[in-house]
């Protein structure tokens, strides 16, 4: 049994946050039907279309669409909307990522669908939310994390902000929070018997991720500054160091006993008293001793390779981590042991590697049941389940309503 087995999700998303959100739910057992638009869907930087073996192969490796079926429907047509309405009557969840107002113009918004299915949970992912002065503004991850105060805190104090891929607002703020909102709404429906609307803004999620970092500001006005606090790497007990082989090792000696372990192992017991103090939370080092300690550690870490340091530090109870390139991640023994790289059987391509499932549930673990489909792979199957005859499906295809 899977945790979300029997939960039916209609995925209208066109961008990765919505796609990743429904992948997370699909991994845990939900039945996800991806409703795609006619034409070409962009993914992995290239076209995912109905033609070509290379695209079929690329689709198999496109993990965000695993555990999903695909139907191509033109929602701008009356006949296409009728298909969506039929699907909605039997769905539990709808996820869409259109700009505010688009779903309403297409007449597939929550107000319309909830009249057909009062139990529906309808999740809209949008940059700034469905209301407020910014709701109609365009944007991307970099804009949302900038406005949330996150971007301004990433990087060194000497340089400009550093862009952390699109991990924060897209994948955490929208996708993870969206999956959480949907899951909570499903629990609430079990109690009330009613569905509800989930308005998930990328920026709201990003601001929420700042909760712990803003406690000082709300308490007494204290604010973090880029590159100037203990968690920014401003102090030598928490940072990144180059090693003999040109690679890097990280140490995270936030607790006094870990710092003591490191200093004793390196033969630098005189540095033990120099550790975290409350002012380090908001202020960069002022005592010149910190520069001496950092310079000393830099020289020491250059004497051995990254992997040598990792083995030595870990076995002396010092928090350390190797700075990996992506290819190194998936050969790491811990990653392999925790099944965070998995192999899924493909009927013609053999074993396909993908990132595994993070939540480890003891009784109802997640599972990759199928690889990504090509757009429209299940159109006929789904329409037949809705009661459409073969002749009707062919007519819809000729009219450009489905593919």
CB-CB contact of 341 with 353 (8 Å): yes
CB-CB contact of 261 with 317 (8 Å): yes
End-to-end alpha carbon distance in the chain = 33
Closest CA to 13 of 63, 70, 62, 86: 70
- Provide the phi-psi class of 325: left if phi over 0, else alpha when psi is between -120 and 50, else beta: beta
DSSP per position, 97-122: -PPTTHHHHTT-SHHHHHHH-TT-EE
Look at domain 8-209+340-398 and name its CATH class: alpha beta
When pLDDT is cut at 50, 70 and 90, the band that residue 46 belongs to is very low
- The two three-digit tokens of residue 221, written as one number: 């006005």
Would you state the pLDDT for residue 43? 55
pLDDT in tens, 206-231: 999 999 999 999 999 999 999 999 99
pLDDT in tens, 230-278: 999 999 999 999 999 999 999 999 999 999 999 999 999 999 999 999 9
CATH numeric code, 230-242+248-322: 3.30.1540.10
**Pairwise CA distance, residues 49 & 69, whole Å:** 15
When pLDDT is cut at 50, 70 and 90, the band that residue 53 belongs to is confident
When pLDDT is cut at 50, 70 and 90, the band that residue 34 belongs to is very high
Catalytic residue among 11, 65, 109, 170: 170
Taking the domains of the chain in order of start, what are their residue ranges?
8-209+340-398, 230-242+248-322
Would you state the pLDDT for residue 57? 87
Does the active-site annotation cover 170?
A: yes
Burial class (CB in 10 A: 0-12, 13-18, 19+), 135: middle
pLDDT in tens, 108-135: 999 999 999 999 999 999 999 999 999 9
Q: Is 164 helix (H, G, I), strand (E, B) or coil?
A: coil
Beta partners for 32?
9, 68
What pTM was computed for the model? 0.94
HSE value, Cβ hemisphere, 13 Å, CA-based, for 271: 25
Angle formed by the axes of helices 256-266 and 306-314, nearest 10°: 120
Mean pLDDT of the chain: 95
pLDDT in tens, 175-187: 999 999 999 999 9
- Count other C-beta atoms under 10 Å from residue 176's C-beta: 18
CB-CB contact of 318 with 253 (8 Å): yes
Residues in the chain: 403
């Amino acid at each position: 049994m899977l945790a979300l087995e029997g939960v039916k999700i209609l995925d209208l998303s066109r961008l990765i946050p919505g796609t990743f959100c429904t992948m997370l739910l699909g991994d845990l057992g939900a039945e996800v039907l991806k409703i795609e638009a006619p034409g070409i869907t962009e993914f992995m930087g290239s076209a995912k279309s109905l033609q070509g073996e290379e695209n079929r192969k690329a689709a198999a490796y496109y993990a965000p669409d695993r555990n999903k079926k695909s139907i191509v429907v033109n929602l701008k047509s009356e006949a296409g909307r009728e298909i969506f309405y039929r699907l909605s009557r039997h769905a539990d969840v709808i996820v869409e990522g259109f700009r505010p107002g688009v779903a309403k113009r297409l007449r597939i918004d929550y107000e319309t669908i909830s009249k057909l299915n009062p139990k529906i949970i309808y999740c809209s992912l949008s940059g700034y939310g469905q209301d407020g002065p910014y709701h109609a503004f365009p944007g991307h991850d970099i804009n949302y994390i900038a406005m949330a105060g996150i971007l301004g805190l990433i990087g060194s104090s000497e340089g400009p902000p550093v862009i952390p891929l699109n991990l924060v607002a897209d994948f955490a703020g929208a996708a993870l929070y969206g999956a959480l909102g949907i899951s909570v709404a499903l629990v609430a429906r079990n109690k009330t018997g009613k569905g509800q609307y989930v308005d998930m803004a990328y920026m709201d999620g990003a601001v929420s991720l700042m909760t712990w970092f803003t406690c000082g500001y709300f308490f007494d006005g204290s604010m973090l500054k880029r590159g100037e606090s203990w968690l920014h790497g401003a102090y030598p007990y928490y940072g990144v160091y180059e090693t003999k082989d040109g690679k890097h090792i990280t140490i995270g000696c936030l607790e006094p006993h870990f710092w003591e372990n490191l200093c004793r192992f390196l033969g630098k017991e005189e540095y033990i008293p120099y550790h975290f103090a409350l002012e380090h939370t908001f202020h960069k080092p002022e005592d010149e001793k910190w520069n001496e300690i950092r310079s000393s550690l830099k020289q020491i870490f250059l004497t051995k390779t990254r992997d040598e340091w990792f083995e030595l530090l870990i076995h002396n109870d010092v928090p350390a981590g190797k700075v990996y390139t992506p290819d190194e991640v998936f050969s790491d023994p811990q990653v392999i042991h925790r099944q965070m790289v998995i192999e899924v059987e493909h009927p013609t391509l053999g074993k396909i590697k993908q990132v595994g499932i993070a939540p480890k549930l003891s009784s109802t673990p997640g599972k990759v049941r199928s690889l990504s489909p090509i757009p429209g792979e299940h159109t006929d199957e789904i329409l037949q389940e809705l009661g459409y005859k073969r002749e009707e499906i062919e007519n819809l295809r000729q009219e450009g309503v489905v593919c």
